[in-house]
């Protein structure tokens, strides 16, 4: 094959298009790395393109700080899902709804959350070109990227829209794949956690050959993965039961287990009553035997007497429940009657994956090389959740035959006390009742284990092809436009997703089944454990949803040298690009109608967007081998994008920067980048979706005691909470609150400014040592987000901050007028807008040191030491930029507002020892301490904040994990690798009500415990 290494790597990077221009763009700098050789460090390679620029780097430099993970690191870490390895690195934060621990519906994808700004704000490339998209959000599912074919992964952090186009707000993750392979390589790997013994198997087959006298090469890689899943019941220990914040007796307190609840006398606090804030059982108030609350009726002597006769004197806000037989009723208690959602829920979701990838190129002559890529993936992922329940106000016949005469009398009294016309809306059913019509209204909370666990299977297939031509055009003259290279390509990708769910409930069928028809007994006996198989089947719903997305890219570029200056040639790259993305989501009729409980209701989505772009990039050397320094250059880039969206239109992005090396040991670099992100199809055209995230209703008893003020109470009453119910559990019996979210076709682009500057040190007096320190600052304006930045912020803005019932945030909240609960049909409505802002800053530290020793069992040793740490100084979210004083200072925090932990310090280090065929490597993963945001946020704003002593889990201490790997090359054809992840079997930190799932933050901390893995690779 005649293409050399320098040209192969250059042509593997995404390019695109037409004319040159002269602006100044990103400074070249060292590519950072952990456990691998820095990109460009081999001075024998004159030119190489590193992610962050389309210009060829000259020597040990890259346009911006770049973290590089090589194929060796992938092998040492036992990686089978690449996103797991990337999430270990400090530039990424956990993504709760993605990855192996994301037991959510919809789900089954794996995306990257660079700098904590969300998966939609970083761009994923493969060989420098856009890859597959998952659906309306247009993100890339990392499941589609085969680990065995990766040569290296380059991550550049900071706005790169001028170089790569929209979505690169926080940076770019570029997977460089093996594209010149000859021979056959077969790898098999097995891994197993030591607690549940659940196994995962992978097999990779890669084969390639040169042909036509080495003018062409074709490589094919096949991958199969079978990951076993397990539930919280399977895991046991810290995962069971579901835990929540509460007050416990001092003697029973435990930081990881449920204590004995302590009732707090009126007028006292947990501490003054002799208790201690601690973990308690945190089950759901929607229970298998049913929990029923009389609503909307004033008290009367008749009702009081009827309740006493039924054994329900002194009935509280929790209502009443039944024994299994459904005859004996009694007041419901908490937590004694609550239902544990944990046992059936998956901690790790099962996955079965097939990947097929092909890459080929052929040199037609010295100036033309044709290339092609084809990628196919099929991922089948299963989720499992606790059985569905239904909650709401339902009509019941007063003479319901399943109730005792005493309870029938209670219903008659409720019927007689009804005032006016009362409406009960459940799904597509909307019925009314009036006094004396033989119907009473009850707030019903019934879990239905009779229909089994909720299940969802996602079958996602993605196909992508790329066809292109590239080559050298030579030089126009010896003085200008020299060493010209071109690249033109077309890519097409299409992803289809069929999601099949079972175990949901039709709310309208529940209402119909509760009422007598033609004098016959109601179909449903929901009192006690008396739901027959036929009754359960009558309300059960299975659904199938379909998602389809596609993306086309047509691009062409020209690069080379404009002319020489006194310090060297001016490098340039210019081009044009056309992109079109389309997506549609077709939900099941039950989900589309909203007549469902157990899964998120959703409307259909359909839309497309396209953009035409031109761009240019240039680097101008200004100093070389001068008394003022060894080298210096300035650089810049621009891109003009014309979108077919009314809210976007034409937008400019640009960057300017420079690098300066006073001596060869030291390089200073800096860059400013202005980037944009156009809204994706989902943000523009997404139909309304109902989801149920964990949130705190400030009008309930879940509101921190210090914030249960008279001002909050007044707003609660003004927004529809009965005065007697304010700050009680009846307002929010469960931790989940439904929100209605959806697209907005008028949403405009997000805009960001990124500043980086740093220093690269390669001291000649310490051969093998390379270090870099880089400051970064990203400021995003007009963030596309749900109203208020999400349900938690909307609730907090309404009640805790603005405290005006006429505000847009309060008007977004719909409450049941009888119970005060946030209820259908509106819930909390948070459709999209350019409402918020995000800001982060910090410092990246990277160091690598390689040295040799004469000692070693196989004739000598080599040591590689690498460390990659990030100190994040600021992470601030402004939910509504029109209210700039309301900010969430989330650095060092976790909780209901800030979400996943955002530590100040996070890092990974590795020490590897090699001697002949043997390798031994130890990796350390570090996640810094974080504090709960219910304490930290108001304190930082100068508002009232709770004492840490009154909080159950105010702090999550720093976490340290160690991984050990050993490898041995039996011969040139066979190598073995084995290792232990989480060597010391460290459990994740346990939190109560702040945990989104599994009693912890599963996307951030290690929930598997110790994992053993082993692999064998054979080459032929």
Strand arrangement of the beta sheet that strand 828-829 belongs to: 689-691, 739-741, 828-829
Cα–Cα distance between 949 and 138 in angstroms, integer?
45
Of the candidate ranges 231-235, 413-417, 440-444, 880-884, the one whose mean pLDDT is the lowest? 880-884
Q: Which DSSP string do the residues of 871-887 spell out, in sequence order? A: EEEEEEEES-TTSTT--
- Would the pLDDT of 9 be above 80? no
Cβ–Cβ < 8 Å for 128, 14: yes
* DSSP tag of 731: G
Give the pLDDT band of residue 62 (cuts 50, 70, 90). Answer: low
Give pairs for 365-371: CB < 8 Å, separation 24+: 366/2, 366/471, 366/472, 367/471, 367/472, 367/473, 367/474, 368/469, 368/471, 369/3, 369/11, 369/469, 369/470, 369/471, 370/467, 370/468, 370/469, 371/11, 371/466, 371/467, 371/468, 371/469, 371/470, 371/489
Q: Return d(Cα 917, Cα 37) in angstroms, integer.
A: 19
**Strand pairing partners for 977?**
967, 1015
Average pLDDT, integer, range 919-940: 96
Strands 123-126 and 171-177: parallel
| C-beta of residue 74 within 8 angstroms of C-beta of residue 80 | no
Burial-class residue 1014 by CB neighbours within 10 Å (0-12, 13-18, 19+).
middle
Residues 770-823 have pLDDT tens digits of 999 999 999 999 999 888 878 888 998 899 989 999 998 999 999 988 888 887
- Are the beta carbons of 659 and 620 closer than 8 angstroms? no
| Helix extents (H) in 925-982 | 933-940
Strands 422-426 and 429-433, bridge-based pairing? antiparallel
Q: Taking 70 as the threshold, does the pLDDT of residue 31 lie above it?
A: no
User: Do 306 and 206 contact (CB within 8 A), yes or no?
Assistant: no
Q: Could you tell me the two tokens for 97?
A: 């709804």
Count the Cβ atoms, other than its own, within 10 Å of residue 370. Answer: 15
Over 50: is that where the pLDDT of 84 sits? yes
State the pLDDT at residue 826.
Answer: 67
Query: d(Cα 65, Cα 73) in Å, to the nearest integer?
Result: 19
Q: Two tokens at 706?
A: 């210090």
Give the strand pairing for 955-956 and 930-932: antiparallel
Query: What percentage of the chain has pLDDT greater than the value 90?
Result: 70
| pTM greater than 0.85 (yes/no) | yes
What is the pLDDT at residue 296?
Answer: 66
Residue 918: beta bridge partners? 915, 968
Taking only the tens place, the pLDDT of each residue in 667-679 is 999 999 999 999 9
User: Rg of the chain over CA atoms, in angstroms?
Assistant: 31
Tens of pLDDT, residues 398-431 = 999 999 999 999 999 999 998 888 888 888 998 9
At a CB cut-off of 8 Å and minimum separation 6, what does 249 contact?
A: 259, 260, 262, 274, 275, 276
Nearest to 847 by CA among 833, 872, 865, 870: 865
DSSP state of 694: B
Mean pLDDT computed over every residue of the chain: 89
| C-alpha triplet 699, 831, 579: angle, nearest 5° | 150
Kindly state the percentage of the chain with pLDDT values over 70.
94
Residue 19 pLDDT exceeds 60: no
415 in helix, strand or coil? helix
Which of 999, 1000, 996, 993 minimizes the C-alpha distance to 277?
A: 993
Mean pLDDT value across residues 361-373: 95
User: Of the candidates 35, 175, 201, 193, which has an alpha carbon nearest to the alpha carbon of residue 112?
Assistant: 175
Q: What is the pLDDT of residue 35?
A: 39
Q: Is the pLDDT of residue 749 over 80?
A: yes
User: According to the model, what pLDDT value does residue 46 have?
Assistant: 37
Question: Residue 538: enclosing H or E segment and its boundaries?
Answer: helix 533-539
List own/partner pairs for 1-7 with CB under 8 A and 24 or more apart. Answer: 1/180, 1/210, 1/214, 1/215, 1/216, 1/217, 1/363, 2/214, 2/215, 2/363, 2/366, 3/180, 3/361, 3/363, 3/369, 5/45, 6/45, 6/46, 6/47, 6/48, 6/56, 7/472, 7/485
State pLDDT tens for residues 218-269.
999 999 999 999 999 999 999 999 999 999 999 999 999 999 999 899 889 9
Distance CA 141, CA 388 (A): 29
E strands, 534-693, are: 540-565, 568-586, 605-626, 629-643, 650-663, 666-677, 689-691
pLDDT at 485 over 90: yes
pLDDT at 57: 57
pLDDT exceeds 60 at position 129: yes
Q: Is the pLDDT reported for residue 197 higher than 90?
A: yes
pLDDT in tens, 300-358: 899 999 999 999 998 888 899 999 999 899 999 888 899 999 999 999 999 999 999 99
Q: What is the largest CA-CA distance in the chain?
A: 105
CA distance 80 to 191: 9
pLDDT band of residue 8 (cuts 50, 70, 90) is very low
Q: Residue 59: left if φ>0, alpha if ψ -120 to 50, beta else—which one?
A: left
How far apart (Å, rounded) are the C-alpha atoms in residues 454 and 503?
Answer: 4
């Amino acid at each position: 094959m005649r293409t050399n290494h320098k040209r192969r790597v250059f042509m593997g990077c995404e390019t695109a298009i037409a004319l040159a221009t002269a602006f100044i763009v990103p400074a070249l700098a060292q590519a950072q790395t952990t456990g691998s050789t820095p990109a460009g460090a081999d001075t024998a390679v004159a030119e190489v393109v590193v992610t962050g620029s389309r210009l060829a780097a000259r020597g040990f430099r890259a346009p911006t700080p770049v973290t590089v993970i090589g194929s060796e690191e992938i092998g040492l870490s036992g990686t089978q899902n690449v996103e797991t390895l990337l999430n270990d690195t400090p530039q990424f934060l956990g993504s709760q709804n993605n990855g192996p621990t994301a037991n959510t519906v919809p789900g089954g994808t794996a995306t990257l959350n660079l700098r904590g700004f969300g998966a939609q704000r970083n761009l994923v490339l493969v060989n420098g070109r856009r890859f597959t998209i998952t659906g309306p959000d247009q993100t890339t599912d990392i499941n589609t990227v085969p680990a065995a074919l990766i040569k290296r992964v380059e991550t550049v952090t900071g706005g790169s829209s001028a170089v790569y186009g929209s979505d690169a707000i926080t940076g770019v993750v570029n997977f460089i794949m093996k594209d010149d392979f000859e021979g056959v390589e077969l790898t098999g790997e097995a891994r197993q956690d030591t607690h549940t013994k659940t196994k995962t198997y992978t097999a990779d087959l890669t084969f390639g050959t040169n042909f036509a006298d080495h003018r062409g090469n074709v490589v094919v890689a096949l991958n199969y993965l079978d990951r076993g899943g397990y539930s919280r019941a399977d895991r046991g220990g810290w995962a069971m039961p579901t835990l929540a914040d509460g007050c416990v007796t001092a003697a029973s307190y435990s930081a990881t287990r449920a204590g004995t609840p302590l009732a707090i006398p009126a007028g006292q606090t947990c501490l003054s009553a002799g208790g201690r804030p601690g973990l308690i059982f945190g089950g759901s108030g929607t229970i298998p035997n049913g929990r029923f609350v009389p609503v909307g009726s004033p008290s009367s002597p008749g009702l009081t007497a009827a309740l006493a006769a039924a054994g329900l004197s002194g009935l509280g806000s929790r209502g009443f429940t039944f024994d299994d037989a459904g005859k004996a009723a009694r007041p419901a208690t908490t937590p004694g009657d609550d239902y544990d959602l944990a046992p059936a829920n998956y901690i790790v979701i099962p996955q079965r994956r097939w990947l097929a990838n092909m890459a080929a190129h052929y040199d037609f002559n010295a100036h033309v090389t044709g290339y092609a890529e084809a990628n196919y993936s099929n991922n089948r992922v299963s989720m499992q959740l606790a059985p569905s329940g239904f909650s709401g106000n339902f009509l019941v016949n007063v003479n319901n035959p399943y109730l005792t005469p005493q309870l029938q009398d209670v219903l008659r009294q409720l019927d007689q006390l009804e005032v006016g016309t009362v409406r009960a809306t459940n799904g597509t059913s909307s019925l009314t009742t009036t006094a004396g019509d033989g119907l009473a209204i009850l707030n019903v909370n019934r879990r239905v284990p009779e229909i089994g666990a909720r299940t969802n299977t996602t079958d996602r297939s993605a196909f992508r092809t790329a066809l292109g031509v590239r080559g050298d055009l030579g030089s126009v003259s010896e003085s200008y436009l020299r060493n010209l290279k071109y690249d033109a390509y077309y890519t097409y990708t299409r992803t289809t997703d069929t999601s099949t769910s079972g175990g949901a409930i039709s709310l309208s069928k529940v209402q119909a089944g509760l009422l007598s028809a033609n004098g016959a007994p109601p179909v449903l006996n929901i009192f006690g454990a008396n739901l027959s198989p036929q009754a359960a089947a009558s309300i059960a719903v299975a659904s199938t949803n379909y998602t389809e997305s596609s993306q086309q890219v047509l691009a062409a570029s020209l690069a080379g040298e404009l002319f020489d200056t006194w310090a060297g040639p001016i490098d340039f790259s210019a081009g044009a690009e056309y992109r079109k993305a389309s997506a549609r989501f077709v939900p099941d009729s039950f989900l589309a109608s909203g007549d469902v409980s157990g899964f998120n209701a959703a409307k259909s989505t359909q839309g497309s967007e396209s953009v035409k772009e031109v761009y240019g990039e240039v680097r101008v050397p200004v100093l070389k081998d001068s008394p003022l320094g060894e080298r210096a250059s300035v650089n810049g880039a621009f891109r003009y994008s014309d979108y077919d969206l009314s809210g976007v239109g034409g937008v400019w992005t640009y960057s300017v920067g420079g690098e300066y090396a006073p001596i060869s040991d030291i390089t200073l670099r800096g860059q400013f980048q202005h980037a944009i992100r156009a809204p994706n199809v989902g943000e523009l055209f997404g139909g309304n979706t109902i989801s149920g995230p964990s949130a705190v209703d400030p009008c309930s008893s879940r509101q921190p005691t210090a914030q249960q003020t008279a001002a909050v109470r007044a707003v609660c009453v003004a927004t529809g909470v009965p005065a007697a119910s304010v700050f009680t559990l009846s307002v929010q019996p469960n931790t989940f609150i439904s929100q209605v979210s959806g697209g907005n076709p008028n949403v405009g682009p997000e805009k960001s400014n990124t500043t980086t500057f740093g220093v690269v040190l390669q001291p000649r007096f310490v051969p093998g040592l390379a270090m870099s320190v880089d400051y970064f600052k990203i400021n995003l304006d007009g963030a596309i987000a749900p109203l208020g930045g999400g349900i938690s912020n909307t609730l907090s803005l309404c009640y805790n901050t603005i405290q005006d019932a006429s505000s847009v945030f309060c008007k977004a909240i719909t409450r049941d007028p009888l119970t005060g609960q946030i209820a259908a049909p509106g819930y909390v409505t948070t459709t999209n807008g350019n409402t918020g802002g995000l800001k982060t800053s910090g410092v990246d530290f990277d160091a690598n040191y390689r040295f040799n020793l004469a000692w070693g069992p196989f004739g000598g040793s080599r040591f590689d030491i690498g460390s990659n740490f990030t100190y994040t100084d600021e992470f601030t979210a402004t939910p509504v930029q029109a209210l700039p004083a309301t900010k969430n200072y989330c650095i060092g925090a976790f909780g209901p507002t800030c979400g996943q932990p955002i530590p100040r310090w996070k890092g990974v280090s590795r020490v590897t020892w090699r001697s002949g065929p043997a390798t031994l490597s130890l990796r350390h993963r570090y996640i810094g301490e974080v504090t709960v945001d219910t304490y930290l946020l108001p304190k930082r704003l100068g508002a009232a904040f709770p004492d840490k002593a009154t909080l159950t889990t105010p702090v999550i201490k720093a976490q340290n994990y160690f991984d050990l790997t050993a490898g041995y090359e039996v011969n040139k054809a066979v190598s073995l690798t084995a290792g232990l992840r989480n060597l010391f079997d460290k459990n994740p930190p346990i939190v109560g009500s702040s945990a989104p799932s599994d009693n912890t933050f599963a996307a951030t901390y290690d929930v598997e415990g110790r994992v053993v893995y082993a692999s064998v690779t054979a080459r032929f």
